[in-house]
Amino acid sequence: MPTLVMKFGGTSVANLERIANVAEKISREVERGYNVIVIVSAMSGKTNELIGWVNDTSDIYDAREYDAVVASGENVTAGLMALRLQEMGVSARSWQGWQVPINTTSAHSAARFVSIPRDNIEAKFAEGFRVAVVAGFQGVSPEGRITTLGRGGSDTTAVAFAAAFEAERCDIYTDVDGVYTTDPRITAKARKLDKISYEEMLELASLGAKVLQTRSVELAMRYGVRLRVLSSFDETDETSGTMVCDEEEIMESKVVSGIAFSRDEAKVTLVTVEDRPGIAAAIFGPLADAGVNVDMIVQNISEKDYDEVHPGAVTDMTFSCPIDQINRARKAMENAKAAGSINYENLIVDADVSKVSVVGIGMRSHTGVAAKMFRALAAEGVNIKVISTSEIKISVLIDRKYIELAVQTLHDEFDLGAPADDV
């Protein structure tokens, strides 16, 4: 029989009524002839509750025990789901990470997959079981301890199982009915995409779109897993949701497929840094060591000279990072300056900026996208502070107060409210 992987997030299994709703969807796939591997998250809010209990118990906790506690939320969901399916007459069994086993590294709370052997689950399928309900977000280390994969780990678990079992498809059920051209809460013209390429989805996920976790898209692209994003709360069929697949499967796509944005960004500028070989490493090495997620980087000639002997041998270095990492970034730069590895005149922080990005594989073969984007923003009086580009993406930093205006403007400018056939 073909294998289908289905993943259900926390809101989809938030209570017993929703678990029963999900069980009906699983049962229908069994009736269609699939052996089904179901990946479940903890019930909505439970993981945060468990983390709170750990923090209340110990200020400095053992990471191994943290994982043992936090992973228990998924175990409860898996057991309840299997029980519900059994009540419906569907032969199902729940699996915790160590029982599969889902072999991972020993990096507790940030583990990576090593292998997922098929033998145990396939043996149950051979016995007549039709559904394996697997606790997502967790695995087992080489030392035999429970590990967790970090936030969004259940998405990654689902894709990893689809790859390991050569599943026909991996369906990610969530609280939205697919991937949209932008956030529908920003513009009512946002349109659900029928298909989107792995690369576009990866860019959108990394740029702030919350539909799929970035690691899961990376894994799907690497192993060619066909992903489908759809809603747990709607009636669905084979045409529902958005398919994430190879660009070869997409008959026709627009130059730009979507507009992504991230509200909570900050811009940091080091003024009058010595312009010499190795200065970038001296700046961004300490930032990486401090766990600062640097995104956009711009280096420009400073208005000031370094000294009378070396005129013009200075630069200003600007980078962006999440706003909640500003204090970490500031301290890393101050420590590097105190250690003598870098020197700068001033450190300027602008904590009132946001990032807006246009994404599309069509940008590879079409020119003028950047000019069109910049003209549209300029016409609305939106000033661009920093620009960053890749083969299929253009990102800009702007004042946060203009974020909704910028998204709506670009969505209209690139005709994203209309189907591809109409353009």
- The residue behind tokens 């990893």 is 160
Asked whether residue 10 is marked as a ligand-binding residue, the answer is yes
Asked whether residue 174 is marked as a ligand-binding residue, the answer is yes
Asked whether residue 210 is marked as a ligand-binding residue, the answer is yes
Long-range pairs of 143-146 with CB within 8 A, sequence gap ≥ 24: 143/106, 144/98, 145/64, 145/67, 145/68, 145/106, 145/108, 146/64, 146/67, 146/68, 146/71, 146/97, 146/98
How far is it, in rounded angstroms, from Cα 126 to Cα 209?
A: 40
Are residues 174 and 40 in contact, defined by beta-carbon separation less than 8 angstroms? Answer: no
Asked whether residue 8 is marked as a ligand-binding residue, the answer is yes
Q: Give the dihedral sign, CA 321/324/330/336.
A: negative
Distances (CA, A) of 23 to 92, 121, 135, 139, 226: 11, 19, 15, 24, 22
Are residues 47 and 73 in contact, defined by beta-carbon separation less than 8 angstroms? Answer: yes
Asked whether residue 264 is marked as a ligand-binding residue, the answer is no
Asked whether residue 74 is marked as a ligand-binding residue, the answer is yes
CA dihedral 198, 204, 208, 209 (to 10 degrees): -80
Q: Which of 259, 138, 247 is nearest to 196 (CA)?
A: 247
Asked whether residue 191 is marked as a ligand-binding residue, the answer is no
Q: Give the dihedral sign, CA 141/145/151/156.
A: positive
Write the CB contacts of 137 (distance below 8 Å, at least 6 apart in sequence): 41, 42, 71, 74, 148, 149, 153, 154, 157
How far is it, in rounded angstroms, from Cα 294 to Cα 288?
A: 8
Asked whether residue 211 is marked as a ligand-binding residue, the answer is yes
Asked whether residue 49 is marked as a ligand-binding residue, the answer is no
Asked whether residue 267 is marked as a ligand-binding residue, the answer is no
Asked whether residue 165 is marked as a ligand-binding residue, the answer is no
Distances (CA, A) of 419 to 178, 262, 343, 413: 15, 25, 53, 14
Residue ranges for the known binding site are 7-10, 47, 74, 174-175, 180, 185, 210-211
Residue ranges for the known binding site for ATP are 7-10, 174-175, 180, 185, 210-211
Residue ranges for the known binding site for substrate are 47, 74
